[in-house]
Amino acid sequence: MNKYKTEIMVGVFVVLTIGAILLLALKVANQSMTSEGDTYTLYAKFDNIGGLKPRSAVKVGGVTVGRVNSITLDQDNFTPVVELSISKKYTGFPETSSVSILTSGLLGEQYVGFQPGFSFDGVADLQDGDYLQDTKSALVLEDLIGQFLFNRGNDDE
């Protein structure tokens, strides 16, 4: 009996560890099977991406529809290119859609805000591999302050 007690307790230990791994994988690190799923890729060029990082969220009206897959620099005109993975669940965004880099809260993390455009005749839906034309860059605090001081200077004269 004593021998079995040892084995049972070691078994409990292993089960607890598996439970911990599952918690970390599914709830904490979001290694879930559903989230990745089938995705399609869109590209967007920004002048400045601010603090955007790979795996940042892509949101439509606050709903996460995808993630930033990678960020590279276009060697031709030296602008950042952001590769977005959008879930196949969300398709049919019109070509006139725009993306901007937004911040959650004052000091929160940055994410890509996706603004679906109007759909009318002659405007096709976005397909895998398309580039989004209408982009707004991240707000950089130093630029804002600089602009503000510059305007103040002009006002004084």
Q: Is 105 in the site for another protein (CB under 8 A)?
A: yes
The beta-strand segments (E) located in 26-145 are 39-45, 57-60, 63-73, 80-87, 98-103, 110-115, 131-132, 134-136
Span from 8-16, 36-44, 79-87, 113-121 in contact with another protein (CB under 8 A): 8-16
Rounded to a whole number of angstroms, the minimum distance from the CB of residue 73 to another protein is 16
Burial of residue 78, with CB atoms counted within 10 A of its CB: 0-12 exposed, 13-18 middle, 19 or more buried: exposed
Q: Is 31 in the site for another protein (CB under 8 A)?
A: yes
Q: Which residue in 14, 63, 123, 149 binds another protein (CB under 8 A)?
A: 14
Nearer to another protein, 69 or 119 (CB): 69
Distance in angstroms (rounded) separating the CA atoms of residues 157 and 154: 6
Nearer to another protein, 73 or 149 (CB): 73
For residue 112, give both structure tokens: 């890509």
Nearer to another protein, 66 or 126 (CB): 66
Distance in angstroms (rounded) separating the CA atoms of residues 97 and 127: 12
How far apart are the two ends of the chain, measured CA to CA in Å?
93
Nearer to another protein, 67 or 84 (CB): 67
For residue 141, give both structure tokens: 């605090």
> Which residues of the shown chain bind another protein in the complex (CB under 8 A)?
6-7, 9-10, 12-14, 16-17, 19-21, 23-25, 27-31, 55-57, 64, 67, 104-109
